[in-house]
Each structure stands twice: as C-alpha cells, then as structure tokens.
C-alpha cells in the first residue's frame, strides 16, 4: 500500500494525517468524526468507517483478559459477529489488532470488546487511561445470520475461551426475538471462565473446564453430543479443534455457523494474509476471514 498524507483543520488545530490508501477511494480520519470510504469501496467492503472512539471503561475480567467499553457513531452500523480493527497508539506497531464485538448498545452508541493480552500491542491497550481515543476501523466482516431463528425456536451457542465474547451479542439478540437459547461454553480452568453471568441473562448456560475446576469436566463436545433437541440454528466461535468438531457434527445443518479467528494485516481483504481454503476445492481457492468471514457456514471451508 502507498502511504498518503494530508492536513485538516479541526477546531482551530492542524492535525497531520498519515494513512494507507485502500484499493479504491480514500479514507480520511478526522478527530471525533466518522469518515467512510468512497462509494466504490463501500460496494465491496460494506460500511467500513474510521473513527476516533472514546474509551469509557476498562476492566480486567480474568487473568490477562480485559473488557473495554467504547463509544462512537459506528456502533449504529454494527452487527453481531463483526469485529473492529484497532490501531495501537504506538508508532512502532504497524498493524492494527482485530478484536471481535461482544456487545452492542445502539441507543447509547457504545460497544463492548473483550481481548486477551497476546503481545506488546494488546498490552498497550490494557494500560490506556479512561477518556483515551482509539483509532478504530470498522465494523468489519460478515456477522452471524440470525434471521433463521424465530420466536419460540431453539438455538444453540457453542463457545470456547476467548471465542465466547462475540457470542454474547448473538445470545442477547436471539433472546430479544423470543428464542430459547442454550449456550455451552468451554474454558481451560476456573480462572479462565468469562461472561458466564452475562450469558445467563439470555440463555441456559452449561460451562465446562478442561481440568474440572469449575462446571463440568471435559470439553464442550461431550455436552453437545448428549443433546437431543433440534435447533433452528447453531452459532460457534473458539479454538480450531472445537470448530473442527462443530463443523463435522453440523456440516449438514442448514443454519450452522463458525466464526474463525485469524491473524490479519490489512483487515480489508487486499493482502490475503488471513485466507482459509474452500471445502471441496483445491488449495488455490480461498476465502478471506476479514472480508468473506469471519463467519462461515459449516461445511463450506477447511477449518
């Protein structure tokens, strides 16, 4: 990508802007304003915006796992299962960090994201003071399709570890539709359990831990294999082994979905750093997690 530069006067100040020029149109980031890509880019990428989002709250909810509440106009466009691409406020960190959206409050224009410290960039996020502004690109990716579920239907959520957060908004919206939601959530141990109480507001929750220190001992697969209920839809996000199980078990289900986790670079589908192979095709046929996903139907990709 070629770097572009520019200046804009905001409230009497001159702000120097340096940003990547995407494959089409240009993106300008203005302080406290939302700026969208050009119309041609919107047709390809959807309503991806750049915005300075305000950090209202940050809490460590488990060892090295943080919940962050952000406020901004782009919340009005967010859908369950999408993610944000956030710039680290450190010039030595060139790549944005993709973080899934855990909760959406369109009335108050706030969203909640939950992330785990994986390196220097996310460690910087964890130290930001309240009132900070984060350079956010989003909402990105294709979210979960909730339309197959109607009032009175049963829906199943399967989540593991740091893959649980994007499923919270799914449970909330399905509950609001009048669906009966069951959530099976797996974690390594008791200390790693997150969002159980929040999920219980919207679903019947079963928690498993690998070592049996909390909930049922074992993996989510053992619980799901015992279930006899027919579900209108299945929604999942977690580690590759868990998603492989979900993909096998529900590959013929008409409405079963996987949310993939992947390292990303551009986050807009241009660099092909986050590809997955398409099921039934040779390895030259790929889909991009950032643009075609992160949500895919079961049986359509190689997990």
Residues 231-244 have pLDDT tens digits of 999 999 999 999 99
pLDDT on residue 14? 30
CA distance 208 to 196: 11
Indicate if 173 and 223 belong to the same structural domain. Answer: yes
Residue 303 lies in a domain: no
303 DSSP 8-state letter: -
271 is in an annotated binding site: yes
274 is in an annotated binding site: yes
Q: Which pLDDT tens digit goes with each residue over 116-151?
A: 999 999 999 999 999 999 999 999 999 999 999 999
248 is in an annotated binding site: no
Indicate if 95 and 178 belong to the same structural domain. Answer: no
SS3 string of 246-301? Answer: HHHHCCCCCCEEEECCCCCCCCCCCCCCCEEEECCCCCCCEEECCCCCEEEECCCE
Residue 23 reports pLDDT greater than 90: no
- Long-range contacts: 1-7, Cβ < 8 Å, 24+? 1/266, 1/270
CATH code for the domain of 180:
3.40.50.80
290 is in an annotated binding site: yes
C-alpha triplet 247, 252, 255: angle, nearest 5°? 80
Residue 69 tokens read as 């509440």
Of 102-111, 141-150, 249-258, 287-296, which range is least confident? Answer: 287-296
Indicate if 163 and 269 belong to the same structural domain. Answer: yes
Range of the domain at 265: 154-297
SS3 45: helix
Residue 47 lies in a domain: yes
Indicate if 82 and 112 belong to the same structural domain. Answer: yes
116 is in an annotated binding site: yes
Q: Which pLDDT tens digit goes with each residue over 205-217?
A: 999 999 999 999 9
pLDDT on residue 112? 99
Query: Number of C-alpha atoms within 13 angstroms, CB side, residue 194?
Result: 26
CA distance 100 to 236: 13
112 is in an annotated binding site: no
237 is in an annotated binding site: no
pLDDT on residue 16? 29
23 is in an annotated binding site: no
Residue 125, CA distances (Å) to 6, 39, 114, 169 in order: 27, 32, 11, 22
Phi, psi (deg, nearest 5) at residue 279 = -60, 135
Residue 7 lies in a domain: yes
pLDDT on residue 19? 34
100 is in an annotated binding site: yes
114 is in an annotated binding site: yes
The dihedral formed by the CA atoms of 150, 261, 237 and 43, expressed in degrees to the nearest 10:
0
Domain boundary among 140, 163, 187: 140
121 is in an annotated binding site: yes
pLDDT on residue 124? 98
62-66: average pLDDT: 98
218 is in an annotated binding site: no
The residues facing 287 across adjacent strands are 276
263 is in an annotated binding site: no
CATH code for the domain of 30:
2.40.30.10
Q: Which pLDDT tens digit goes with each residue over 165-204?
A: 999 999 999 999 999 999 999 999 999 999 999 999 999 9
CA distance 85 to 121: 12
């Amino acid at each position: 990508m070629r770097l572009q530069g520019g200046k804009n006067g905001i409230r009497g100040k001159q702000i120097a802007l340096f940003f990547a020029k995407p494959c089409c149109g240009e993106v300008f980031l203005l302080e406290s304003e939302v700026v969208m890509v050009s119309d041609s880019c919107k047709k390809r990428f959807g309503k991806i915006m750049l915005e300075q989002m305000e950090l209202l709250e940050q809490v460590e909810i488990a060892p090295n796992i943080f919940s962050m509440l952000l406020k901004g106009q782009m919340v009005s466009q967010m859908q369950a299962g999408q993610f944000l691409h956030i710039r680290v406020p450190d010039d030595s960190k060139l790549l944005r960090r993709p973080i899934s959206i855990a909760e959406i409050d369109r009335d108050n224009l706030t969203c909640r994201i939950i992330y785990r410290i994986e390196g220097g960039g996310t460690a910087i996020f964890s130290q930001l003071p309240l009132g900070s502004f984060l350079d956010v690109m989003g909402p990105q990716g294709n979210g979960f399709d909730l339309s197959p579920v109607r009032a009175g239907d049963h829906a199943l959520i399967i989540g593991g570890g740091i893959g649980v957060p994007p499923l919270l908004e799914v449970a909330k919206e399905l509950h609001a539709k009048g669906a009966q939601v069951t959530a099976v959530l797996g974690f390594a141990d008791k200390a790693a359990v997150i969002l159980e109480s929040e999920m219980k507001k919207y679903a019947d929750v079963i928690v498993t831990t690998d070592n049996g220190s909390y909930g049922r001992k074992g993996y989510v697969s053992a619980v799901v294999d015992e279930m006899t209920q027919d579900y209108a839809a299945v929604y999942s996000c977690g580690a590759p082994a868990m998603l492989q199980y979900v993909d096998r078990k529900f590959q013929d289900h008409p409405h079963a979905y996987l949310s993939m986790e992947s390292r990303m670079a551009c986050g807009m589908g241009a660099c092909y750093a986050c590809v997955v192979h398409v099921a039934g095709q040779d390895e030259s046929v790929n889909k991009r997690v950032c643009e075609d996903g992160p949500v895919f139907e079961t049986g359509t990709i190689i997990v």
